[in-house]
Amino acid sequence: MNFLHQAISQAFDTIFNVQIPENQVNLEQTKKEFDGHVTFVVFPFIRHTKKSPEETANILGQYLKENCTQVADFNVIKGFLNIVLNDEYWLNTFEQQILKEDFGFLKPNGEKVMVEYSSPNTNKPLHLGHVRNNLLGYAVAEILKAAGYEVIKANLVNDRGIHICKSMLAWQKFGNGEKPETAHLKGDHLVGKYYVIFDQEYKKEIEALKADGKTEDEAKKQAPLILEAQEMLQKWEAGDDEVKTLWKTMNSWVYAGFDETYKKLGVNFDKFYYESNTYLLGKDIVEEGLAKGVFFKKVDDSVWIDLTADGLDEKLVRRADGTSVYITQDLGTAQLKYDDFKMQQSIYVVGNEQDYHFKVLFLILAKLGKSWAKGLYHLSYGMVDLPSGKMKSREGTVVDADDLIQEMQDTAKEKTEALGKVDHFEDAEKENLYRMIGMGALKYFLLKVEPKKRLLFDPKESIDFQGNTGPFIQYTHARIKSVLTKANYQELKVTYPSHLAETELDLIQILSKYPEVLASAAKEHNPAAIANYTYDLAKSYNKFYQTESILKVEEENIKQFRLQLSCHTAATLNKGMSLLGIEMPERM
RNA sequence: GGUUGCAUAGCUCAGCUGGAUAGAGCAACUGCCUUCUAAGCAGUAGGUCUCAGGUUCGAAUCCUGAUGCGACCA
C-alpha cells in the first residue's frame, strides 16, 4: 500500500505544488457500502488545494488512475476519494506476501522482553481471575515472539508469608496428617482447604473474644491462632527446621497441583523466581537511594521517598525497625531480573488493583537513575467479577480453575455429541477434540475482551460455542481442512484467474492485514486485537465458502487458486489462534 | 477526601492515529442442508454512543465538568 502514500504525496506536489509528507497521507479501508478498497479523505488538505473537496478528490483520483498501474478506478463522494485497486494488485499481494513461509512473523528486532505473569500464592488453588492472568500473559508473550522479540516468560511465586503460615498452622492443628494421596485431592486444593479452615477457626476465636468484651480490632489482633501464625512466620524467617520442612512439603503439594493446572491451560515459563529467595532483596537499594538523596530518613529512622511532586504521596520504603515493606522487595527483584537478563522491556501482568503500586515502583526506579526503568510496563487488566460481585476465596464464591476447565470440556462434549458428527472418531481423538474445543471456547471468551476492561462471568450461563467464539473459528479451520483433504491438496504453482470474485478479494484483503494487526497487538499488548481479527477472517472465509464452490468449479486453475486461498486462510487462522494458545482441530 | 480506570443495541463486545448512514455475536423472528462439515450463510427487528458544555469543515473517538460503577492511596 506504500505506493499509494507515495503517489498521493507526489500528486499534491505536481498538481498543487504543495509538499505533503507521505506519513501525513492517511489511508483507510473503504467502508463496505461504498465501491473501492482504499479511501483517502481530502478534507484536511483543501486549504492547500484551494478547491472544493469534490474537485480535489476528483483531480487526485484522476492522477492516480493515470499514474498507478494498480489503480483500476476511483469514485468520489463528498470529500472521500475511494480508490479501486485492480485484481492483479491483490493477486500480487497474495503471491508475494501471504504465500511466503514467514508470513505472519515479523523480523527479529534484537530486543529482549520479559513477561512476568501468573505469579500465584501457594496457599490456595487457582481461580478464574488467575486464569485470565495466565492466558493474558501467555498470549502477550507469544504475540511479542511473533512480532520479533526474544521473550522470557517469568513466574514470581509468592511462596512465603503469613498466608502460607495460616495454611500450615491449620494443617498442623486440624489435618491429622492428611496428604493429597490420602485425601484424594490435588495438592493445591488440599492446602487451600486448610487456608479456609484457618479462617473459619480464626473467626470463631474472634467471636469468642468479642463476647468477652473486646473490640473487633483487639479480637483480630489477640486471637491465639493469628498470634501462632505470626510466631510461625518468625520461626520460618529464623530458619527453624521443623517449620521449614513443613513449608517445603506443603509447597511441593501446591506445585504439583499448579503444574497440572498450567498444563491444562497450556501455559509455560522459562524462569521461576521465588519470593522466599527474593524477599530480602532491596535493602541495598534503600541504601543506594539514601546515598543518592532520592530517599530520606524521618526522625524515627524510617526511610521514605517523596513523590508529591509527581502527584503521588510520600511512600515508605523501610520501616523504623529496619524491616522491609512490600515495595522494597519489588525494587530488589526488578534489579535482580535486569541483572539476570539485561532485557530492554519488562512487562508485569498484574490486575488493576495494583495500578498505584506499579506507578510508584517504576517511578522510584526511574528516580534512582536506573536506565532500564523506562522499559518497565504494567499490563493492568480488569478483575473478573461474578453477577454477585467480587470473587472471594474465603467466602467460597470463587470459580475454581480446575472445575471450570472440566466444565468447559464436559460442555464441549455434550454439544459435539449432539451434532453427531464425530461418532466414528476414535475415543482418543474425541477426548482430545473435546479438550481443544472446551479450552478454545474458554480462552477466546477471556481474551477477546480488551485487558483493561473488567469481565463479567456468569457461571449459570455457559460460554457460547456459536458466533464470535473460539469454536466458530476452530470450526472454520476444520472445514477448510476437510476440503483440502477431499481434494488431496498439494501446493503447486497456480495460474491465477484474470478476475477475482468479490469474496475472494475480500479474503485476500483481510489476510493481507494480518502483519499490521500483529504489530499493533504487540505494541498495545492486546491479545483481543488478534482474537477479533481472527474472527473477521473466519467470517470472511465462511462467506466465500458459502458463495463460491471450490471442488466443483470447471476451470482447474480457479480450483487450484481457491484451494490455495483456503489453505493459507487456514494457516493464518492457525497462526493467530496459536498466539492465544488456542489449538485448531483438523476435523470436528 | 485524593488519584485512577470504565460507561456504545435487552445481554456480551468491536469501532485503528477524529471522517461517510455507529458494527459483530447472543437472545427474538424469517429463509437456506438430494450440492465442498448448518458449531455455517442470508435477512428482519433492535441506538439520543450515560449527561451537559467546548475544540473542529467533521466527535462514540480529543478537552472540561457532572452522574453512575469499580479499583487504589491515606
Q: Is the CB of A394 under 7 A from strand B?
A: no
Please provide residue A350's backbone torsions phi and psi, each rounded to the nearest 5 degrees: -145, 145
pLDDT given at position A313: 85
Residues 6 or more apart whose CB falls under 8 angstroms from that of A394 comprise A196, A199
Q: Is the CB of A31 under 7 A from strand B?
A: yes
Strand partners, A189: none
Nearest protein residue to B6's C1' (by CA)?
A: A453
Instruction: Please tell me whether residue A310 adopts helix, strand or coil conformation.
Output: helix
Q: From the CA of A450, how many Å to the C1' of B6? A: 12
Q: From the CA of A576, how many Å to the C1' of B27? A: 29
How far apart, in whole angstroms, are the C-alpha atoms of residue A230 and residue A279?
17
* The nucleotide closest to A441 (CA, C1' atoms): B39
C-alpha cell at A140: 502477550
DSSP A200-252: HHHHHHHHHHHHTT--HHHHHHH-HHHHHHHHHHHHHHHT-HHHHHHHHHHHH
Which helix (H) or strand (E) segment is A279 a member of? none
DSSP A94: I
* Residue A377 near residue A345 (C-beta atoms within 8 A): yes
C-alpha cell at A429: 481423538
How far apart, in whole angstroms, are the C-alpha atoms of residue A84 and residue A73?
5
* Residue A463 near residue A441 (C-beta atoms within 8 A): yes
ipTM comes to 0.96
Spans of chain A below 70 pLDDT: 1, 394
Q: Is the CB of A430 under 7 A from strand B?
A: no
C-alpha cell at A511: 489476510
What residue type is A311 in one-letter code?
G
* The nucleotide closest to A547 (CA, C1' atoms): B41
Q: Is the CB of A466 under 7 A from strand B?
A: yes
How far apart, in whole angstroms, are the C-alpha atoms of residue A443 and residue A428?
22
Which helix (H) or strand (E) segment is A441 a member of? helix A427-447
Q: Looking up cell 481461580, which residue turns up?
A: A127
Q: Which residues 483-522 on A are within 7 A of strand B at the CB atom?
A: 483, 486, 520
Class of domain A2-85: alpha beta
Angle at alpha carbon of residue A132, lines to A414 and A161, rounded to 5°: 125
How far apart, in whole angstroms, are the C-alpha atoms of residue A528 and residue A521?
8
* Residue A519 near residue A147 (C-beta atoms within 8 A): yes
Q: Is the CB of A467 under 7 A from strand B?
A: yes
* Residue A445 near residue A470 (C-beta atoms within 8 A): yes
- Give the number of other Cβ atoms within 10 Å of residue A215's Cβ: 10
List for chain A the helix, strand, coil content (%; round to 5).
60, 10, 30
Q: Is the CB of A1 under 7 A from strand B?
A: no
* The nucleotide closest to A81 (CA, C1' atoms): B20
Q: Is the CB of A392 under 7 A from strand B?
A: no
Q: From the CA of A303, how many Å to the C1' of B16? A: 46
Which helix (H) or strand (E) segment is A80 a member of? strand A80-85
* The nucleotide closest to A469 (CA, C1' atoms): B25
**What does each C-alpha distance from A456 to A118, A258, A382 come to in angstroms?**
20, 25, 10
How far apart, in whole angstroms, are the C-alpha atoms of residue A419 and residue A588?
10
Q: From the CA of A353, how many Å to the C1' of B48? A: 34
How far apart, in whole angstroms, are the C-alpha atoms of residue A222 and residue A216?
10
List bases, strand B, within 7 Å of protein CB: 2-7, 12-17, 19-21, 24-27, 35-42, 57-58, 70-74
How far apart, in whole angstroms, are the C-alpha atoms of residue A456 and residue A336?
37
Q: Is the CB of A435 under 7 A from strand B?
A: no
Q: Is the CB of A559 under 7 A from strand B?
A: no
* Buried b or exposed e, range A460-493, using 16+ CB within 10 angstroms: eeebebeebbbbbbbbbbbbbbebbeebebeeee
A526 CB-side CA count, 13 A: 15
Pairing between β-strand A345-351 and β-strand A376-381 as defined by DSSP bridges: parallel
Q: Is the CB of A33 under 7 A from strand B?
A: yes
DSSP A45: G
* The nucleotide closest to A28 (CA, C1' atoms): B16
Among A228, A166, A212, A216, smallest CA distance to A191 is for A166
Longest Cα–Cα distance of chain A, Å, equals: 94
Q: Is the CB of A356 under 7 A from strand B?
A: yes
Nearest protein residue to B12's C1' (by CA)?
A: A456
Q: Is the CB of A523 under 7 A from strand B?
A: no
C-alpha cell at A173: 492443628
* Residue A441 near residue A469 (C-beta atoms within 8 A): yes
Q: From the CA of A33, how many Å to the C1' of B21? A: 9
Q: Is the CB of A100 under 7 A from strand B?
A: no
Q: Is the CB of A368 under 7 A from strand B?
A: no
Angle at alpha carbon of residue A132, lines to A510 and A372, rounded to 5°: 85
What residues does each domain of chain A span?
2-85, 161-267
Q: Is the CB of A453 under 7 A from strand B?
A: yes
**What does each C-alpha distance from A181 to A8, A168, A185 come to in angstroms?**
72, 18, 7
pLDDT given at position A309: 84
Residues 6 or more apart whose CB falls under 8 angstroms from that of A366 comprise A373, A374
* Buried b or exposed e, range A293-328, using 16+ CB within 10 angstroms: ebbeeeeeebbbbebeeeeeeebbbbeeeeebeebb
Rg, C-alpha atoms of chain A: 30
